[in-house]
Amino acid sequence: MKVKFVALLLGAFVFLFPFYYMLIGSLQAEPDPSVSGAFPKPGNLTLHNYTEINKSIHLGRSLINSGIFTGGVILGTLVFGVLAGYALARLQFRGRGLVFNLMLLIQVVPFQLLTIPLYVLIVRSYGLADSYSGMILPFLINSTAVFVFRQYFLQLPAELFDAARIDGASELSILWRIAVPLVRPALLTGVLLTFIGPWNEFLWPFLITKQQDLQPLAVSLSNYLTTVSARAANPFGAVLAGACVLAAPAVTLFIIFQRRFISTNLSSGVKG
Amino acid sequence: MRRGPLTRVMGEHPVGTAFVTPYVVFLAAVFAYPLGFAVYMSFHDYFFAAPGAVVDRPFVGFENYVTVLTDPAVQRSFVNVVIFLVINVPLTVVLSLGLANALNAAIRWRTFFRVSYYVPYVTASVAVVGVWLFLFNSNGLVNSILGPLAPDPSWLVNSKLAMPTIAIYVTWKQLGFFILLYLAALQNVSKDLYEAAEMDGAGRWKSFLNVTVPGVRPATTLVVLVATVTGANLFTEPYLLTGGGGPDGASASPVLIMYQRGIEQGHPDVGAAIGVLLVIGVLLVALIERRFVGREED
Amino acid sequence: MKLQAGLLAVVLAGSLVACGDSGGGSGDADAAAKARGPITIWYSNNAEEVAWGKQMVAAWNAQHADQKITAQEIPTGKSSEEVIGAAITAGNAPCLIFNTSPASVSQFQKQGGLVPLDSFPDGKSYIEDRSGDVAQQYKSTDGKYYQLPWKSNPVMIFYNKKAFAKAGITTPALSTYDDFLATSRKVVAAKAAKVAIYPAPSNEFYQSWFDFYPLYAAETGGKQLIENGKSTFASDEGKKVAQFWRTMYQDKLASPEKYTGDAFVDGTSAMAVVGPWAIATYKGKVDWGVVPVPTSSGKPASEIHTFSDAKNVAMYSACKNRGTAWDVLKFATSKDQDGKFLAATGQMPLRKDVATTYADYFAKNPDYKVFADQASRTVEVPNVANSITIWQTFRDAYSKSVIFGQQDVGQALDEAAQKVDQLVKQS
């Protein structure tokens, strides 16, 4: 047990150190590339890098935009993705194989290949430039999440479903009453996975919205990083402060919800 | 979809069609057209033009594919991505299963550990790349710790080490997600099996091999497939970490080259051909992996 | 089967819609050239340029209530080509972009995305009267102007006076390659800076504009990378320049590693190759001096050519009210607005006789005067098809041989020249 603990501790250090360094660097008035720069020095600490960001970006507005963008995607994935994942795992119907293969194919296709045709389609055919819908649409249902949902629905014992069907329950109520509660950790995994994409996505929301009051945080920040930061008193610190601002909401949300991700006594219901 | 007469034709659970319809409509509306369009482009002398512009875009058969396959930069990028996968995928599977198993046990500071392993996954690459550049440059912290053992030229400008360094970076970055997948899967391994193994006198290592590993088999399939697919679509990391695939193309990925040719240089036809080849390649690899790693139980 | 068929139908419908509205828009150019009304423009998100842009838009809008400008920022650098390219294809590009890279013009032109400015009766004469001979470099291969040469940032060598003083140098000798190398060695040996100079070593197609190209322009007395449909860089001069940089990298006077931040500002390097836009960022941080780029024989400053690093204004074909757009373009590049631009950004308007036209400004800001002089001897990227592919091909060869030393410099340039000649021939 001791060995395991020490190994985990060491691993955690490797995983956290760059973030620690990011934080320290963002608080420095002068960049300090030496080894001792990894430790906070009282004389060299300042919040200046953050106030500069606050001056040039509407943080509140950007956060709201990020929230709408990300929230829309999560909602779409949870509603439609769970339905699709359940059907692909547990229901026999015509065309299932085709949909499954299509889902796999979509994941294999690099987004860069589709960017411009997709842009033309959404802007010209659907007329969704400068709107939240245009931003959300290509991400609306996350295929990897559908795949994950399917995988976990597959792991549930078949007897559970057979029993419910014999009792005459509809598929929708089986899904809602039985399957979903059992795979709740998987659902949260899906949410996390879905959250990351739109939260950190830069290019798409930028292409689709030129109006600054529609742009999410990742877009305003990378704008800031490419231009404004070079003028800052401490460019390296400004970049790191920008990184911290982008990471902070995601990490905070994760820490709040992490308790719900895995609750170990779930398996009792599954044992069959 | 109405029930009744259709039931027999549509399979045992016709309601399934209704369940997947929104998803299928989404795929058709957002992906099918651009994808079909990309395939079309790859067989034509194609470039993007303004609406209404009169341009000639003749059918050229496999010409774009020939261009792509004989281009040393493209060949190199495919080799690079194979190097990447060979390092990244096994490392990801072993580390994420091991860590998930350790984190699943009752251990002190469990919450802290879980959070720390997920943090890189939650953060945008744009944000962490700066720190990595700093850590791995020739005067960086990593090299000062290694002292005389530090490689010369340093990690990211060394044509042999650039790709492995990126592979390790990506493993580090994505590991949290895969740990999460395994943790969820571990909840479904029946405790009875562990008890039975213990009765048979199996040690911790034995029961890990005989109970845990087979128990999370479907998750392993998933991890291998997802890691392969995300790895094959590698773009952001060479774009940011090595300034566009340096040194000398040693860290260029196919998607990076596709981006350069297709979008920066205005040859979307050539870019599309690279994309189509990549998709075919990944599908083949994924099929082989499914054979070897394990068939699913349906 | 039903499902497959349905899917196919949806796909087809999608593609039909996408192609359907591609008619229209192209209408008669004459009517469009006279049309007036509100327009949209984009400018760069660089802080000083934004300040100028806002002022310009406000001044115009105050006088033209029925032809208002709406302005938006787009990022400089990497992703701007992508953004503009996508907007052209979708037909929602703005009327004017005050940040069009000359290297992209041939591509946008091929896409049918640009309005030839010659289509306005006074188009050609306005451009040539404003910029003088320099304008010729911005003509496209069909003899038309698809861009208005707007402003340049003639690239020179900045040096850090403090770092040089630390190495015991007060009047730096930097005019010949030998001098430049000797000075660089002195600075690095004295540990006044980690490296002598830090051009970005990464592989983006445009990075050669800030290492090879300025020195090449100087060495050849103003030759472009491609002239008369043939590459020129595999010449003796080109190889001399490449060999000079090779020595810099080989002797660790320059670094092959990508750098985060500004190496010149934080003292990592003692020199920088950059244009006058950067002066604003050095204020209060570096005590700098400036000299022309070096040549092998040490030509006098008055004969040195360099890379212009120009950004231009182009009109995009999606623009409906082209009459207004043309008026705005003339308004924004008038003597008065150019003066305001110079004062706000320190970048040189691409008009003839900048130094005398704005004599007052240069009297008050002597730092910028040398750039006004240099601005009269600048070389642009060649305006040819496949421009970006050509630069990427060159960059790949340069990176392999000069920066990483994995191939002989001369051989690499010869091979690249062959490929580039092929690329020039394709259209």
Cβ–Cβ of A124/C266 closer than 8 Å?
A: no
**pLDDT for res A35:** 66
- Give CATH for domain C5-153+310-379: 3.40.190.10
**pLDDT for res C3:** 45
Q: Flag whether the pTM goes above 0.80.
A: yes
Among all residues of chain C, which has the CA nearest to that of B51?
Answer: C22
| 8 A C-beta contact, residue C292 and residue C272 | no
Domain count, chain A: 1
**pLDDT for res C17:** 39
Domain containing residue A202: CATH number: 1.10.3720.10
A272 pLDDT band, cuts 50/70/90, is very low
Pick from C153, C177, C164, C199: nearest CA to C289: C164
Q: Say if B18 is an interface residue toward chain C (CB within 8 Å).
A: no
**pLDDT for res B7:** 58
Angle subtended at Cα A236 by Cα A232 and Cα A240, rounded to the nearest 5 degrees: 105
Q: Is A81 a member of any domain?
A: yes
**pLDDT for res A264:** 41
Low-confidence ranges of chain B (pLDDT < 70): 1-10, 294-298
Cβ–Cβ of A206/C73 closer than 8 Å?
A: no
**pLDDT for res A34:** 64
Q: Say if B126 is an interface residue toward chain C (CB within 8 Å).
A: no
* Residue C311 C-alpha from the chain's centroid: 5
What letter represents residue A271's amino acid? Answer: K
Identify the architecture of domain C156-307+385-425 in CATH: 3-Layer(aba) Sandwich (3.40)
**pLDDT for res A262:** 53
* Residue A225 C-alpha from the chain's centroid: 21
Out of A25, A93, A109, whose CB is closest to B17?
A: A93
Pick from C292, C312, C327, C29: nearest CA to C148: C312
Cβ–Cβ of B53/C26 closer than 8 Å?
A: yes
**pLDDT for res C76:** 63
Q: Please give the DSSP secondary-structure letter assigned to residue B171.
A: H
Residues of B in contact with C200 (CB under 8 A): 243
What letter represents residue A143's amino acid? Answer: S
- Nearest-angstrom CA–CA distance, C151 and C149: 6
pLDDT in tens, A202-261: 778 888 887 778 889 888 887 777 666 556 666 677 777 888 888 888 888 888 877 665
| 8 A C-beta contact, residue B119 and residue A15 | yes
What letter represents residue C378's amino acid? Answer: T
DSSP readout, chain A?
-HHHHHHHHHHHHHHHHHHHHHHHHHTBSS---SGGGGS--GGGB-SHHHHHHHHHS-HHHHHHHHHHHHHHHHHHIIIIIHHHHHHHHH---TTHHHHHHHHHHHHHS-HHHHHHHHHHIIIIIS--TTSHHHHHGGGSS-HHHHHHHHHHHHHS-HHHHHHHHHTT--HHHHIIIIIHHHTHHHHHHHHHHHHHHHHH--HHHHHH---GGG--HHHHHHHIIIIIHHHSSSHHHHHHHHHHHHHHHHHHHHHHHHHHH--GGGGGGT--
**pLDDT for res B217:** 86
* Residue B222 C-alpha from the chain's centroid: 11
CATH 3.40.190.10 placement within chain C: 5-153+310-379, 156-307+385-425
- As a whole number, mean pLDDT of residues A7-33 equals 83
Pick from A258, A263, A108: nearest CA to A183: A263
The radius of gyration computed from the CA coordinates of chain A, to the nearest angstrom, equals 23
- As a whole number, mean pLDDT of residues C232-261 equals 93
What letter represents residue C179's amino acid? Answer: D
- Nearest-angstrom CA–CA distance, B144 and C120: 63
Q: Which residues pair with C272 in a beta bridge?
A: C158
**pLDDT for res A268:** 34
Q: Show the tokens assigned to A154.
A: 């597959």
**pLDDT for res C276:** 94
Q: Say if C86 is an interface residue toward chain A (CB within 8 Å).
A: yes
A269 pLDDT band, cuts 50/70/90, is very low
Among all residues of chain C, which has the CA nearest to that of B34?
Answer: C15
Q: Can you give the residue range of the structural domain that contains A208?
A: 20-32+44-259
**pLDDT for res A69:** 95
Minimal C-alpha gap between B31 and chain C (Å) = 9
- As a whole number, mean pLDDT of residues C225-246 equals 96
- Nearest-angstrom CA–CA distance, B296 and B178: 19
- As a whole number, mean pLDDT of residues A23-41 equals 74
**pLDDT for res A68:** 95
Residue C99 predicted with pLDDT over 80: yes
Please provide the average confidence, as pLDDT, over all residues in chain A.
82
| Number of other CB atoms surrounding residue B218 within 10 Å | 20
Q: Say if C91 is an interface residue toward chain A (CB within 8 Å).
A: yes
Torsion of CA C368, C371, C376, C380, to 10 degrees: -130
| Number of other CB atoms surrounding residue B148 within 10 Å | 4
- As a whole number, mean pLDDT of residues A67-86 equals 94
Pick from B163, B27, B15, B5: nearest CA to B84: B163
| 8 A C-beta contact, residue B167 and residue B84 | yes
The answer to whether the Cα torsion of C27, C31, C33, C36 is positive or negative is negative
pLDDT in tens, C207-221: 999 999 999 999 999
Q: Is A3 a member of any domain?
A: no
Pick from C342, C359, C352, C314: nearest CA to C52: C342
Q: Say if A256 is an interface residue toward chain B (CB within 8 Å).
A: no
Q: Is A183 a member of any domain?
A: yes
**pLDDT for res C14:** 42
Q: Is A272 a member of any domain?
A: no
- Nearest-angstrom CA–CA distance, C62 and C394: 48
C12 pLDDT band, cuts 50/70/90, is very low
Residues of A in contact with B102 (CB under 8 A): 4, 7-8
